[in-house]
Amino acid sequence: MSYDSVRQQWLAGPEEFWAKAAEGIDWTGRWGEVRDRGSPVGRWFPGAELNTCYNALDRHADSGAADRTALIYDSAMTGAVRRFTYAELRDHVAELAGAMQAAGLGRGDRALIYMPMVPESVMAMLACARLGAIHSVVFGGFAARELATRISQARPKIVLTASCGLEPNRVVAYKPLLDDALAQADHAPELVVLLQRPELRAELKPGRDVDWKDFLRDAKPADCVPVQATDPLYILYTSGTTGQPKGIVRDNGGHAVALHWSMKALYGISPGDVFWAASDIGWVVGHSYIVYAPLLAGATSILYEGKPVGTPDAGAFWRVIGQHGVNALFTAPTAIRAIKREDPALEQAQRYDLGTLRALFLAGERCDPDTLEWSGQVLGVPVIDHWWQTETGWAVAGNLLGEGLFKVKAGSAGKALPGWDVRVLDENGAEVPAGETGSIVCRLPLPPGALPTLWQADDRFRETYLSDYDGCYTTGDAGYMDAEGYLYVMTRTDDVINVAGHRLSTGALEEVLAMHPDVAECAVTGIADALKGQVPLGFLCLKSGIARDEGTVVQECIALIREHIGPVAAFRKALVVDRLPKTRSGKVLRGVLAKIADGVEYAFPPTIDDPAILGEIESSLLSAGIRAE
């Protein structure tokens, strides 16, 4: 089939389309109507019953694929490689779920997972799914304060963690961060289960903390607990425009259907193929395409602990592909840029057999045409940019490798996929002509797999996503669609920036900078970076009468962000300025600040309070060496 015929099938009958896709999932109870017509957003398969873990593991293990490899853990940090067949992974998960059940975790309860890229993290997620409990995974690069916010919001009964994560330049001790977070949070979990890694041992607090091995000692395997298709599978917090992250809710049924469908149609992956999403389980890409989708599809998933460069060299990705026979790789453009920078002729790849690789998928940030074209030339496989968000759970726009690729246009994230009615609107809600930039929205209802709401924040959900344009979900991205329906996603319309494929809120960074005793006012913008796409830049106005060395204040602010948000913010640049450019109503002109810092042309803001400030900012950026002449 072609993209056009698949899209046509969906347009002709969206509910029939998804009902057919739902045949790829095993249900213990059927739905009444395919989509709840009473819900404008999209609640799929109401009344149906299933278990996501059963679909990811047991059904393969019980039907002839018990010995097929489900998961390959490859650590470039320790050199370890561990393989788990479907039967083995199911048994490990059932045992862990049994221990969690004995500890009182049941359907609808939350478990927070703060763990590095080790197989036990995947087991923990699947064990929650097995019990109908809701997991909330927190990325290891966040600091204690961010972790505390998530603990306070998700209110987990159990926290699963490890003694440490491994970064190229250091061992990251998780336990002190967790203890600090628990001290800050306004909720206390009943139990902390900790995996001791050989690289660092953590101290356990008697009565609350238990060693992972002891926890499993007398565990009896737990059966899969059937849940409603509309019950939450997980909550994943992502950056919004304020310091309060948004708890994206994912349901069980729609998620399983959409992800299972996407593996074949979008990624061209069949049972037994090897799929590698080089991301982290703390991000949505890791949830969807390291853990759930490859297993739902009966494929083999790679869990890689390492970096694209430096672990030990720029050949790390090619080594993994060659060693494990990877058929499709999914990563962020930043990772490819990092490899290209160190190995522009891709000499490292000559050392490995990449013959199994059929395609490279890129997402997480805008992919510049250079990166796309370079990787296509050197790898000799299709390179497919596709666009999605934590909220959407899977790709909104892309290409369909499994149905026959259509022509790739560098700079475009492809065309709207079945399920998504993508429109580009002007500020009045009218569609703009092809080629003109506007806000990218999706007409409701959203397809299976997309967020139904925010965790315990229905009003915030409606206000954030549904209130800008009638009957539409606001993506927060802006761009244009060409006459052939190719979508170009260019920038965010809100205060979110994208650093190395990681999403950050400038508002959250500003809240932390404002905590510095010498800072009167501040603004953070994202500026262009050749490797990471964007990096944050802070503008600091100091309180009057502060006579301290500006460089010292800047260093203290950098340390403050690392302490409160975490190293993942990659906050390394800040500048002391006398004043910030504002509108007459007092709103800081962040967009203009970013453009001045990038040295690109900008429209002179008609509402600016004092135009002279723009020249002052430009001179400060030049003399600080942040902007080149």
Q: Rule CB under 6 A: is residue 232 a binding residue for ligand COA?
A: no
Q: Which does 390 bind (CB under 5 to 8 A by kind): ligand AMP, ligand COA, none?
A: ligand AMP
Tell me the DSSP string of 488-550. EEEEESSSEEEETTEEEEHHHHHHHHTTSTTEEEEEEEEEEETTTEEEEEEEEEEPTT--S-H
Q: Which does 235 bind (CB under 5 to 8 A by kind): ligand AMP, ligand COA, none?
A: none
CA 178, 180, 181, 185 torsion: positive or negative?
A: positive
Give me the least distance between CB of 185 and ligand AMP, in Å please: 23
Q: Rule CB under 6 A: is residue 258 a binding residue for ligand COA?
A: no
Q: Rule CB under 6 A: is residue 501 a binding residue for ligand COA?
A: yes
Which positions from 392 through 431 interact with ligand AMP, judged by CB under 6 A?
Answer: 413
Cross-strand pairs, 416: 397
Q: Rule CB under 6 A: is residue 85 a binding residue for ligand COA?
A: no
Alpha helices in 132-244 (DSSP H): 144-154, 174-184, 212-216
Which positions from 338 through 357 interact with ligand COA, judged by CB under 6 A?
Answer: 338
Q: Rule CB under 6 A: is residue 141 a binding residue for ligand COA?
A: yes
Cross-strand pairs, 573: 537
What is the contact mask toward ligand COA in residues 546 to 575, using x (rule: CB under 6 A)? Answer: ---------------------xx-x-----
Q: Pick from 295, 335, 504, 513: which binds ligand COA (CB under 6 A)?
A: 335
Comparison of 3 and 388: residue with beta carbon closer to ligand AMP: 388
| The one segment of 95-103, 123-131, 333-341, 384-392 that binds ligand COA by CB under 6 A | 333-341
Pairing of strands 191-195, 209-211: parallel
Q: Pick from 197, 503, 516, 590: which binds ligand AMP (CB under 6 A)?
A: 503
Q: Pick from 75, 348, 389, 525: which binds ligand AMP (CB under 6 A)?
A: 389
Structural contact between residues 68 and 85, judged by C-beta atoms closer than 8 angstroms: yes
Q: Rule CB under 6 A: is residue 393 a binding residue for ligand COA?
A: no
Pairing of strands 383-385, 359-362: parallel
Q: Rule CB under 6 A: is residue 167 a binding residue for ligand COA?
A: yes
Structural contact between residues 354 and 379, judged by C-beta atoms closer than 8 angstroms: yes
481, 482, 487, 492: CA torsion to nearest 10: -50
Q: Which residue has the tokens 């306004």?
A: 186
Structural contact between residues 526 and 506, judged by C-beta atoms closer than 8 angstroms: yes
Helix axes 369-379, 333-342, angle to 10 degrees: 70
Which positions from 346 through 365 interact with ligand AMP, judged by CB under 6 A?
Answer: 363-365
The count of residues interacting with ligand AMP (CB under 6 A) is 20
Tell me the DSSP string of 88-122. HHHHHHHHHHHHHHHTT--TT-EEEEE--SSHHHH
**Which helix (DSSP H) or strand (DSSP E) does residue 253 occupy?**
helix 253-265
Q: Rule CB under 6 A: is residue 504 a binding residue for ligand COA?
A: no
Residues that bind ligand COA (CB under 6 A): 140-141, 165, 167, 169, 172, 278-280, 283, 285, 307-309, 331-332, 334-335, 338, 363-364, 500-501, 531, 567-568, 570
**Site residues (CB under 6 A) for ligand AMP?**
238, 284, 363-367, 385-390, 413, 476-477, 489, 492, 498, 503
